[in-house]
Amino acid sequence: MFHSVSLSNIKEIQQEVLPVISSEYDLEKNTFSWTKTPEKYLSLPSIRQAINSLKLDKYVHGVTINITNKRTSPIHVDDGKFKYSLNIPILNTENTYLKFYNVKPGVDANGKLTLIGTVKYYGFNQDEVVEAQCIESNIPGYVDTSSPHSFESHNEKARIMLLIRLKNDFKLK
């Protein structure tokens, strides 16, 4: 599920991160990518301040950039060496939503292995789940990537998110 966090320096993060993303990615093209240069993001003063204030120093696993044009993703759980992600909205997050679901009784809670390009995840059909939570993507927060979720973008402009992936030993308090 989603757990919001307060980042007192969210505006500074957005202002510092956007030029770095713009220098590495086409902002008009759908992208979900582990950055090959996480230090570019993790060394930014605003990101360092956020990581320190949330006491995440020893938990950072990596950085993913998510650029999404108007569309809806499949319902899925993420595959990877992390359970939680700190999702930080960067640009055009109005009218974009993160939805979480409960799996119906009798349905395999692990989902079905699915590959789209090089991205591997475990998916669910709409009739196998019930929506449990819907959050507009314009606030930062922890996302439990092992919970079935999807996103919807109704924004005409590309939504840009910075996802700081956290190691498995991170626990929400």
| Complete domains list, the chain, with CATH | 2-167 (2.60.120)
Beta bridge partners of 134: 99
Residue 162's pLDDT is 93
Give the distance from CA 131 to its chain's centroid.
18
Question: Which structure tokens are listed for 49?
Answer: 């301040």
Residue 65's pLDDT is 85
Model pTM score: 0.88
Residue 30's pLDDT is 63
Taking 70 as the pLDDT cut, the residues of the chain under it are: 30-36, 116
Instruction: Find all residues with CB under 8 Å of 117, minimum gap 6, and list them.
Output: none
Residue 35's pLDDT is 67
**Cα separation of the two ends of the chain:** 14
User: What CA–CA distance (Å, rounded) separates 133 from 155?
Assistant: 20
Residue 23's pLDDT is 84
Residue 78's pLDDT is 79
CB neighbours of residue 30 within 10 Å: 12
**What's the pLDDT tens digit per position in 143-159?**
998 899 999 989 888 89
Do 65 and 159 contact (CB within 8 A), yes or no?
Answer: no
